[in-house]
């Protein structure tokens, strides 16, 4: 079955430390891939997207993600986390063909400590 | 930057009542979506709308739900005879001229059913 997995429900990192949030998908062909961030009480903001081409994509707020076809992964990274990065992060997948809609992972909640 | 706007931000309704959630998508976007996020759970697709008709819907989107684009700017979600389990955040999203364009989300409407 088609699915998006974010294996980490909650991650806590120290301010200034590096961050990697994991996302794996299960689809027949390479889908379109997205990361969204949701701050408390807010909507979903697009951080970055991958459609094709360079497998390392840069996003807003200093985030980047790397698509690895062999691992069916699209992990989100940031070299130095800021306290304002504390939020919920959602990986989302859109199959590149057909009418299947955007599918979200369950999210990873990021806490940042001093 | 243009954004998706949703009103109201919070709606409290008695069980069994009808509720209409409103959205103004980004003006030159052609695809419109509604998603639901029950507290503590992942974002779930409800319905997509293109060319004045529903293009896809999930099994959540049953007969109690309907969508409408009553004029050139608004996109509404109507829930007839609300149930307690309809309590959730409802997000509207829109995307450009093809289904693989990134979806831009509003800040959501928190629906509380009493």
CA B33 to chain centre: 6
Is any Cβ of chain A less than 8 angstroms from the Cβ of B34?
A: no
Does residue A24 carry a pLDDT above 90?
Answer: yes
Q: State pLDDT tens for residues B95-108.
A: 987 767 888 999 99
DSSP A45-58: EEEEEE-SS-SEEE
Residue B77 makes CB contacts below 8 A (sequence gap 6+) with B20, B21, B23, B34, B46, B47, B65, B66, B67, B90, B92
Let me know the angle formed at the C-alpha of A88 by A83 and A94, rounded to the nearest 5 degrees. 135
* pLDDT reported for residue A33: 92
Listed residue (B81, B82, B109, B94) closest to B50, CA to CA = B94
Cα separation of B64 and A1, whole Å? 28
B107 contact residues in A (CB cutoff 8 A): 41-43
Q: What is the CATH number of the domain that holds A75?
A: 2.60.40.10
Question: Prior bond to B8 cis, omega within 30?
Answer: yes
Annotated domain spans of chain B? 5-113
**B100 Ramachandran zone, left/alpha/beta (phi>0; psi -120 to 50):** alpha
Contacts of A101 in chain B (CB under 8 A): 33, 45, 48, 56, 58
Give the model's confidence band at A29: pLDDT under 50 very low, under 70 low, under 90 confident, else very high. confident
Reference B92, options B42, B41, B38, B26; nearest CA is B26
Strand A87-94 and strand A32-38: the pairing is antiparallel
Residue range B17-74, pLDDT digits in tens: 999 999 999 998 999 999 999 988 889 999 999 988 999 999 999 999 999 998 878 9
The per-residue pLDDT for range A49-87, each reduced to its tens digit, is: 998 888 999 999 999 999 999 999 999 999 999 999 999
> What is the pLDDT at residue A52?
85
A5 in contact with B at a CB cutoff of 8 Å? Answer: no
Q: Which residue segment(s) compose the domain that A87 sits in?
A: 3-113
Q: What is the CATH number of domain B5-113?
A: 2.60.40.10
Number of structural domains chain A divides into? 1
């Amino acid at each position: 079955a088609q699915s998006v997995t974010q294996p980490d429900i909650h991650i806590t990192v120290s301010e200034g430390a590096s961050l990697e949030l994991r996302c794996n998908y299960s689809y027949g062909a390479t889908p379109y891939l997205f990361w969204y961030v949701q701050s408390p009480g807010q909507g979903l903001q697009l951080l970055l997207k991958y459609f094709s081409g360079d497998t390392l994509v840069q996003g807003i707020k200093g985030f980047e993600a790397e698509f690895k076809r062999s691992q069916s992964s699209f992990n989100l990274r940031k070299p130095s986390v800021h306290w304002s990065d504390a939020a919920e992060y959602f990986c989302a997948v859109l199959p590149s063909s057909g009418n299947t809609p955007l599918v979200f992972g369950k999210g990873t909640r990021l806490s940042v400590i001093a | 930057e243009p954004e998706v706007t949703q009103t109201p931000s919070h709606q409290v309704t008695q069980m069994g009542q009808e509720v209409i959630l409103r959205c103004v998508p980004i003006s030159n976007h052609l695809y419109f979506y509604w998603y639901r996020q029950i507290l503590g759970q992942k974002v779930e697709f409800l319905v997509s709308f293109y060319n004045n008709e529903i293009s896809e819907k999930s099994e959540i989107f049953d007969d109690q739900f309907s969508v409408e684009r009553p004029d050139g700017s608004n996109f509404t979600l109507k829930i007839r005879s609300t149930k307690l389990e309809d309590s959730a955040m409802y997000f509207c999203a829109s995307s450009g001229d093809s289904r693989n364009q990134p979806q831009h989300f509003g800040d959501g409407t928190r629906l509380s059913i009493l």
